[in-house]
Amino acid sequence: MSVQTVHDGPVQKHIELIAKHEQEFLSRRTWDERVGDSVSSLVGSLTFVAFHVILLLIWITTNTGLMLHIKAFDPPPFPILDLLLSFESILLASFILMRQSRIARRSEERNHLELQLMLLTEKELTANLSISREIAKRLGLSGVIDDHEINQLSEEISVDQMAESIRDRLSGEKLSEE
């Protein structure tokens, strides 16, 4: 028996397909989404933190008179620094929210794709169980034919009924918690 590597066969095809979908999603980003992603990536870096720490140290030492050769332009409690940092916070929060929104959209797309695949898989498994039961019937395997669980699993499942049942169960649990 040979061991299949990731570089050949169905595993590699799946990897390539997933990578293709991710690349397509990234290429559909608008200009402002690309800028937002770049800013969010920069903000989440140690370089950004180090830059801010150095900038704040310089600002504070300059404006507290520790740098004697430079005149203070924003004396304590540093109202200009406060204004600049507040403005920066608003912008950074907006960029981060934009990125989170885009990530949430991508996650929703993936969830829809997973649901479609799961529904297809359920139909395929139901068909396979039906075929297996028919084979068992022709072979005279009454234990398989009469198995209650196999009979239930080989029936078509209504997604709408299942969703309604879950909603009813969850709303019933919420009422009992209160």
The per-residue pLDDT for range 120-177, each reduced to its tens digit, is 898 899 889 889 888 988 888 888 778 888 878 788 878 888 888 888 888 877 666 6
Predicted pLDDT at 137? 86
Whether 162 is covered by a domain: the verdict is yes
Whether 65 is covered by a domain: the verdict is no
Predicted pLDDT at 57? 95
Predicted pLDDT at 149? 86
- Domain range for 81: 11-43+77-177
Whether 56 is covered by a domain: the verdict is no
Residue 75, pLDDT above cutoff 80: yes
Q: Residue 70, Cβ neighbours under 10 Å: how many?
A: 12
- Average pLDDT, stretch 7-31? 82
Whether 101 is covered by a domain: the verdict is yes
Whether 148 is covered by a domain: the verdict is yes
Residue 159 or 78, more confident: 78
Cis peptide upstream of residue 10 (ω within 30 degrees of 0): no
What is the number of structural domains in the chain?
1
Predicted pLDDT at 67? 81
pTM above 0.85, yes or no: no
Residue 74 or 44, more confident: 74
Amino acid at 47: T
How far apart CA 92 and CA 71 sit, in angstroms, is 30
Q: pLDDT grade, residue 86 (50/70/90)?
A: very high
How far apart CA 46 and CA 165 sit, in angstroms, is 49
Whether 68 is covered by a domain: the verdict is no
Q: Which residues have a Cβ under 8 Å from the Cβ of 161 and sit 6 or more positions away?
A: none
Residue 4, pLDDT above cutoff 60: no
Predicted pLDDT at 13? 83
Closest C-alpha among 140, 134, 176 to residue 154: 134
Mean predicted lDDT score pLDDT of the chain:
86
Highest mean pLDDT among 80-89, 111-120, 151-160: 80-89
Residue 55, pLDDT above cutoff 90: yes
- Average pLDDT, stretch 17-32? 85
Q: Look at the alpha carbons of 76, 81, 87, 92 in this order and tell me if their dihedral is positive or negative.
A: negative
Strands (DSSP E) contained in 52-168 are: none
Whether 63 is covered by a domain: the verdict is no
Residue-level length of the chain: 178
Predicted pLDDT at 54? 97
- 95 within 8 A of 40, measured Cβ to Cβ: yes
Whether 70 is covered by a domain: the verdict is no
